[in-house]
Chains A and B, each alone.
Chain A
Amino acid sequence: MSHIGQRLRRIEDPPLLKGAARFAADISFDGQLHMRVVRSPIAFGRLLGVEVADALAAPGVAAVWTGRDVADIPPIDFRQVRLPGLASYRQPILAADHVRYVGEPLAVVLAEDAYLAEDAANLVFAEIEEFEPVRRATDAMGEFAPGLSSEAAIVHKGYGDLEAAFAAAHDIVELRLSLGRHSGVPLETRGAVACYDAALDLLEIHGAAKIPHLNRDALAKMLGRPSERIQLYEGHVGGGFGIRGELYPEDVLVALAALRLGRPIKWIEDRKEHLTAANHARDQTHLIRAAVDARGFVLAIDDEFWADQGAYVRTHAATVADLTAALLPGPYMVPAYRAAGHIRLTNKTPAGTYRAPGRFEGCFVCERLMDAIARRLDLDPVAVRRINLIPPERMPFERHTDALGTDVVYDSGAYERLLDRLLDHVQYDELRVQTEARRANGERVGIGLGMFVEKSGLGPFDDVELILHEDGGIEVVTGAASLGQGIETSIAQICADGLGARPLDITVTHGQTDRIGRGMGAFASRVTVMTGSAVHQAAGEMKEQLLQAASDMLQTPAGRLAIEAGVIGIIDRPQGPSLTLGEVVRGDAAFKSVTATFNSEHMTYPYGAHLVVAAIDPETAAVKIERYVVAYDVGRAVNPLLIEGQIAGGIAQGIGGALFEEFVYDDLAQPLAANLADYLMPTLAEMPGFEILLSEDAPSPINPLGVKGAGEGGITAAGAAIAGAVDDALGGTGDIDCLPITPTRLHDMLAGNIMPNR
């Protein structure tokens, strides 16, 4: 029986259900000190001095450090998409001479108890000479530091003959669009617990997530220690979404304090800190121009955008701008293209990746453009998209851009077929008629559509070790990580199929740097593709080995043996002799674990479409989503239950980013959304029912399983489709040009004021 494709419930759930899980805050060591971070209350200024005497004298305080005490530690480096010139904008672990955002760490207090640490932190006083903050990426450029402009870099991508296309255009459509600042905001805040064993000269760090191996190597460099003298351990992680698990100043401070003070150090962030200190995301403004012919076919796109990076360039370096520019044309042909993305520093919390980084933004921009073209040429919005779609016979399709250092080659896809499936499902023509009838009746209701191509399965490699234990238990050891997405179950399903075992006999060990030499972690929807493929390979090899060993024991040629549900038997002889996997290992002293590596130079590209029906409340100007449909093609679905779960979670976050969530700042760049009452994440009350149409039309030709990643497609087109629906509800005026679409903005618009575009 094949386990791939089954809606298997998760093997990782029991401890989570029983309250027996181990999240970062659940880990403690005897004699530990608690770290509390003192953060800048000012957005931009020169740090004249930090007064720590009172804090040092407070009860239970072991140490207080400021930037001076850690001046020997270099700033946090990039882990991908470095561009020349970015290095000067990296963040120090404690502010040295300037503070650049509210929430920037400027001192730490280490004390016997978390309450005492917080008491003492309140006694630290920073003297700051205030400067005028830079509030927006689109404002006039300022200075990051003397002589260093607030524009850190410009990302350029493009291909084709843009000028010829614009010269030949039937029409030119131009839009200015912007997306607000929001982020992943996992329900668990960040945390780290470090412990130094002087006898072994070993630094242990618990609470790791996402990329333990990469962070170990980065920490080793910063602390001047060999990598093998640092081990990171991933426990349970309460959501990642791109932001959790990157190397942040606090992680380095915890490690450093454990080394210097020789005592275990525990740091658990509070929610206010999280909302002002962990990575923000999105926050882009685009000026897009398209040359079109009379049928609405896009001859060329010219896009210039400004990305609000916040106060420093963190581990992702230029990742988000890179992905935005590389993938903006989505599923459309677009024969000529140019993008220029300005990475601008401002005095806000630094930004990084958040689920579908660059694609949520690019999709919003590209799909608002499609709607605008339809409006300009008086065409149906579906018809405009249809004639622009890349046809299946053009696959694999070279986009002629690069993303994350790989050439963008769409590996497979039947885009129009997916669109048709979605339209059939909602009975689009009828839905259109109904919606128009309701509008004619005075209701403000509309339909929005967003199509997209996602990316997944970033290489370059993934290793796994497959171990068959003497009790018959099978252990998969991987350098990937789990942020709650269910990788243990999917990996067990893939392994079970490859081996002929039962998923419940398989355990998956991930995120432990002492168990496997290297690992890439979990990001960019890479685990099912990369780790899954490596597991598939390893399982195939182990199966060979098992059959060989069993062949000797059962005195039967290997070719006549089969493994099913963890038992090796003779084909067509159900009553014949058989062996369990455990018996084979116990009986064969030479039996070895298997390691396998899967390498990949290219990403694989799933694709989808979102359709939204939304209505505007005439009294409150609130947007009510009546219907939310996602069609998504993942090549091959390892576990549809989990994939649908990923999509549903993405939709909820997408609705949040499109309608509710925004890190608002005032004129002094003070954050106004620093708790969960002001930063509005959707609750069940804001959730419509979802309809999810999962398909497997286009398996990936570039991995042995045909799978594509499923972690992000639930969110990618949310901003686009919701904006489209609200715009349609207003009569298709094209006025919805920025996210989030809050009741205040809509109310102003309905009252006849223009929607303020940032």
Chain B
Amino acid sequence: MTKLDINLNVNGETYPIKVEARRTLADALRDDCGLTGTHLGCEHGVCGACTVLVDDQPVRACLGFAVQFEGSQIRTVEGLADGDELHPLQQAFWDHHGLQCGFCTPGFLMLAVAVLEKNPDIDDGELRRALASNLCRCTGYQNIVKAVRAAAGAMKR
């Protein structure tokens, strides 16, 4: 199959890559850009482990093709921390034991970033509804909710 030259803009950097039209955004990020922080838990749009931000909207990277995302600003988990300084959400997940195996964590972090950037004053019901879009098999979710709640406060400051 023919490969196409495209540029992906990820975390503010340009990645010139060569991909088949059928290559998913998730595979392009992981294998062509070397950003393996975005995980694949199902490859059919249910688990949310692959959540990245595209122009600040949460998107399941397993459900799109890389070629569709030229010209978009993509954000992944690798872009959250500022050097050694963790993003408030990363810090809160750490402090509140919001992860065990950590496989779902990048997806939850990106989902929560999108949710809180859009509405830092989100109420509990809405927050729970939003976070119910991703799966975690380890934590039982309670600490994830606690962490996002705590980060909401920190991000407003």
Contacts and interface: CB of A to CB of B under 8 A. Distances in A.
Contact of A649 (B47, B80, B90, B139): B139
- Overall SS of chain A's interface: loop
A496 to B, nearest CB: 19
B90 A684 contact: no
B36 A16 contact: no
A18 B90 contact: yes
Interface in A453-497: 483-486
A174 B106 CA distance: 50
A115 B101 contact: no
7 contacts: A13-B94, A13-B102, A17-B105, A19-B78, A484-B101, A649-B100, A684-B145
What 10 A-B pairs are tightest by C-beta distance, nearest first?
A: A19-B37, A484-B101, A16-B102, A238-B103, A648-B140, A19-B77, A652-B140, A676-B46, A26-B36, A685-B132
A683 B135 CA distance: 6
B46 A675 contact: yes
Contact of A187 (B86, B131, B136, B143): B136
Contacts of A714: 140
A188 interface: yes
A126 interface: no
B76 interface: yes
B59 interface: no
A96 interface: no
A12 B22 CA distance: 36
A731 interface: no
Interface of B: 20, 22-23, 27, 30-31, 35-44, 46-47, 49, 76-78, 80-81, 86, 90, 93-95, 97, 99-106, 109, 128-129, 131-145
Interface residues of A, number: 55
A10 interface: yes
Given A641-B97, A684-B141, A236 B102 contact: yes
Contacts of A271: 41-44
A671 B31 CA distance: 32
Interface of A: 9-10, 13-14, 16-23, 25-26, 28, 114-115, 184-189, 236-239, 241, 270-271, 483-486, 641-642, 645-646, 648-653, 675-677, 681, 683-685, 687, 689-690, 714
Contacts of B77: 18-19
B135 A115 contact: no
Contacts of B135: 187, 676, 681, 683
Contact of A20 (B37, B44, B94, B133): B37
B115 to A, nearest CB: 13
Which of the listed residues A236, A237, A483, A649 has the most CB atoms from chain B within 10 Å of its own CB? A649
B139 A239 contact: no
Contacts of A13: 93-94, 99, 102
A188 B103 contact: yes
A687 B144 CA distance: 12
A17 B27 CA distance: 20
A685 B137 contact: no
A642 B141 contact: no
A646 B139 CA distance: 7
B142 A186 contact: no
B39 A23 contact: yes
